[in-house]
Each structure stands twice: as structure tokens, then as C-alpha cells.
Structure 1
């Protein structure tokens, strides 16, 4: 019986544990356990006993009060299962370290550091299109706890040709990802799909009627700003703590004023009433008469609605509101 168990142990654990540990385990199987106090003598020392217990190949057991404790071997299949659990735990820890190391390496390779506190490398102008793309990819990989972006409709190709790409899987549970989009992005089918995919991947998204520029910030240390509308032919890579702090304050200022993506209409009851009349293309005078208010009041509500939607003309506000789901 014990010979069969030893053979099974060798089949399951060979090359999974050290030869020394496997020899100790099969020896314990052969003698079918022993008194805990005698284990060190039988198994070549207390370190070997602790190694067996630590590997899940043996356990200390007592039959009851007053009964001497015994060191008994774990069943070979359970010993392998425990070993696999421990290996999985180590792999997860190693994967976390690998991701952290890759982020740090990409940061070191893509832009110069300023470890001496001098101004060298705090601001870098990039005009090569390929380098800008590499830096943008490296920037998102370097984020370890926070990723902030501003995005508008300034693109070099038609949005119909763009591909929606969610945040990296490594962001899940590790990096808080927040993005503010220009409202027009959510009114284009491709732009809307892009935002939806990012939100499904864990991004927190908000909308503003207008955004004057794009921006990317990784943690509290690195930012990428455009020098051109799209940012693909000229960009600023910034490591200055002073500028980064100001850019983050600017982002938070916009974040507080932005509307959460997918949120219900932010309009008041009167503004909703005015908006519905704008959709019907009713004149300002007719709106005032229907609502029982003055013409200046209607104009004030109309201006506020158009500002929230980021449009200039009343009929454009109606169309934008329909696309956004504020009116049916």
C-alpha cells in the first residue's frame, strides 16, 4: 500500500518539487507518519520537517487532548493541489512585479529623467509623428494608479476609420482611469462606441460642450500636451511637478463641471419645456406665450441650453438634444 502511494507521489511530484523534498516526503509515506517529537530525528532535522509542512506535503495532527501530536503525510494528490495553489499565488505576485517593471522601464526608455532636480528634461518638444505615438503608448503603460485624459474631435482621419480601444487590462483594479470628452464625440456613432467600450472596461467618463485641447496625464508625474489640434505632428512631454500640478488642477476643475456619461438630462423642468419647443422650431415669442414667461427669460434658458449642448443655433440644440437622448 505504501509502495503504491510512493509511486503515485513520484509520478505527481517529480520535477515539481526538489529531489530532496520528494525523498523526505516518500520516506514519510513509507513509515506512514510518526510522532511529532520524533520527526526531526527520522527526517534529518527540524528544517526538513518545516519544509515538508510548508510545502503542504505533511501536517501535524492530534487525535484529542492528551494525545501526542503526529506528523502525517498528505495524500499525494492533495500535496500536488497545494503545490499548484502556491505556484499560482507566486505567479500572480510575479505578474504584478512584471507589470510594474515594464511601466518603469518604458518610462526610462521614452523620456529622460531629472533625478538631479535640474530643469533638463522637465519639458521636451516632440515633432516626430512616430515618436509621439510611441510616447503616447508608453505613457499609458507607465501609469500605476491614475490615468487622466481630455479628448475632443480633432482627428486626422475620419472617425469612421477609427478603432475603439479600451484601457489596458492591467488597469483593472489598479489604475483609476478618468476621461473628459467633448460632447460632440458622444454624438458620432464611432465616438459613442469608443466611449462605451472604455466605460465597460472601467473608465469613468464625463462630457463637456467644448474642450480646447487634448491632454494625457499619468499619475502625478508625466503629461503629454498637443502643440497642434490633433497633437500628432507636435507635442510637449512634461515632467515638471509644478506644471503637472497645475494641469491636474485644471482637469479637476473641468471634471466638476462635466456631465457624467449616460446621465439623465441635467436640465430644469422649465429648460426641458423650452428645449422641447426648440425641437418644434417654435419662435421665442410663441415660447414665452406658451410658458407664461417673458421673452428675456426664454432667451436666457435657450442660451443656457445651447451652452450645455455646445451649439450656437436653436435648431442645432434640438438635434443635439435628440442625439443625446434628452428629448424623444
Structure 2
């Protein structure tokens, strides 16, 4: 309903005769979105159709209600001519909702800016890298959403390690991996800090990813592989950890200083470390059965499933079941060639 048509309708039907349909629509659209007191003032103005501007505070419950209605776009001041008094006119309920949502959005943006400014001031007043970290409730967990701050904290977090530096990494990146996205390796800590990393196998199967890992290993890192890493993680001893709130972690991260949570994350890392395969291990123990090993050796040669079945004496359905199991263990569900490359890198095929 247009604003002019709505004003004409209200004028035609009179204040006390405003249709119950309009009142019901206003309640249905605005109940719970605006304060009940403001909704009551709006429906009262709807019932009147309009009112002289100077009488609006008395009718609607005060000048504050009048200002709230106009600020949120639920009413506007109208005049039919320079010699006529100004009147406060309600807008249609659908436009009132639109104006209210716009006002709420403006306030949320302003609140978010104040929140971020307060967080920056808090960080400046109480640096997270302080050696005197206490486990007060307001400092145990912090959400970081600023990309630049996430990158800075992520790089600086490594300096907090005193005995162990542990990371989990997968293939979740914001852009295709190339020479420009490869990050420098961590320092070797001069032998004082043990640096360990578990990578998703696919990271080592990409040329740039493999080169990055190899450089890190040369710098003193111990690297192992798993078919799948569910999330990235950085952990310094059992004191500070960083976890992603998004797959890449670059638009949201959780900085954890709780020793209870950090300790649990350490146990999680150690569990994965025991399961992981050392990078480039020449004698890595294959988790495949003898039959799966035979199927794999033929798959990497490009032999079709039907021919594999004839050569091994297995049924076709059995070959396909072994093939699916092999690819699942390797983390490659579609391509025999990719699975073969992964198996060679892990030492499952000599």
C-alpha cells in the first residue's frame, strides 16, 4: 500500500473507524519487533488517522514516543500547506516494519563498532601475550573476527610455546594453493621447543603444499599425515590454543587460554599423532589387508575392476568393495590415480 493511498484511506474512514484489518496487520508485523509501548502508541495513532503535531505528545504518551515513531520511520510529519498546522501521520504497517528494521540495523552496526573498539582497547590494556596470564573468566576465551588481528595473533602465538608447539592443518584455504600462498615455516626453536604438525594427506599431494611441509621439516618440524583433518588448530604447550570458527579460520577464530580446554586439545592432538603416518616414511606400515594390497597394486596401473576380478579370482562386487575401502582409507573417494599417488607417498606401495 502506498503512503499517499494509506493517508487518503485513513482520512476517508476517520480516526475511530480505522479498520480492524489494519490494526491486526500492525500487530502481526510489529509485535515483538518493537517495544510494546511503542506499538501501543503506533496503533493509537493508526486509530486516529493522524493528529496535530503539537498534540502528539499528549496523545501518544510523551515526546519520547513521538521521536521514537519518527526516528524508526513508523510515522512522519506532514503539512498540507504553509498556513496549515503540521500533523503527525502513521505510515502503513508494512512500511513501518521496513523502517523499524532499518533503524535496528543502524543500531546494531553502531553497537558492533563500539564492541570492536572496546575489544581493541581491552587487548591494548591486557595483552594476550602477557607472561602473567591469569584464568579470570573474562580472559579464558576470546572471539576474534578481524582478519588482520587473526593473522597477527596466529603468527605471534608460536612465541608463547615453551616446550611443545603443535598444529593441525588441512586443505581449507580461501584461494587455490600456489607459490604466493605458501607460508614460511616455523622456527626450529633452537632445540628448546618440540615442533610437531599433522597435515591432511592432500596437503602433501599438492606440489606447493609438499614443498612447504618439506621446508618446515628441514627447519626442525616433525610432520605426519592423516587422510582427513577435521579442523585446523594451533596449540602452545597446554596453555594457549587457536581454533577456527570457519573452515579456513581467516574470518573468525577462537583464542583459548583455559588450561582445561587446552589440556583436552593436547590429548586430542596426541591421539591423532599416534594414528598419523610420518611424512615420507619408507617403511610405513600399510593398514591394508593382503587382498586390498593386491587390488591397490592393480588399481594404480589403471586396470579396470572387471579385469582385476579375473586376475585375482575375486568377485566383481568384492573388488569394488575393496576399492571403496582403499579410497576411503586414503581419503580419495573418486579417482584411482589420486589414490595411487597417495599410497606411494605413504609407502603403502613399494
1:163 matched residue in structure 2: 182
TM-score (norm 2): 0.57
Counterpart of 1:244 in 2: which secondary structure? helix
Asked if 1:231 is matched to 2:249, the reply is yes
Counterpart of 1:233 in 2: which secondary structure? coil
Asked if 1:291 is matched to 2:309, the reply is no
Residue of structure 1 aligned with 2:140, choices 91, 112, 122? 122
2:94 matched residue in structure 1: none
Runs of 4+ in 1 over 6 A off after TM superposition: none
1:306 matched residue in structure 2: 327
Asked if 1:278 is matched to 2:299, the reply is yes
State the distance in 2 between where 1:178 and 1:188 align: 20
State the distance in 1 between where 2:240 and 2:135 align: 15
* Contact residue 280 and residue 345 of structure 2 kept, 8 A: no
1:52 matched residue in structure 2: none
State the distance in 1 between where 2:297 and 2:257 align: 48
Moved more, 181-190 or 251-260: 251-260
What displacement does 1:164 show? 4.2
TM-score (norm 1): 0.61
Unaligned residue ranges in structure 1 (runs of 5+): 1-105
Aligned residues: 221
Asked if 1:217 is matched to 2:235, the reply is yes
State the distance in 1 between where 2:132 and 2:138 align: 6
State the distance in 1 between where 2:148 and 2:133 align: 27
Asked if 1:317 is matched to 2:339, the reply is yes
2:19 matched residue in structure 1: none
Moved more, 147-156 or 241-250: 241-250
State the distance in 1 between where 2:311 and 2:343 align: 21
Asked if 1:176 is matched to 2:194, the reply is yes
State the distance in 2 between where 1:258 and 1:136 align: 24
Unaligned residue ranges in structure 2 (runs of 5+): 1-123
1:97 matched residue in structure 2: none
1:182-197 superposed matches below 5 A: 182-197=200-215
Q: What RMSD, in angstroms, separates the aligned Cα atoms of the two structures?
A: 2.6
1:66-81 superposed matches below 5 A: none
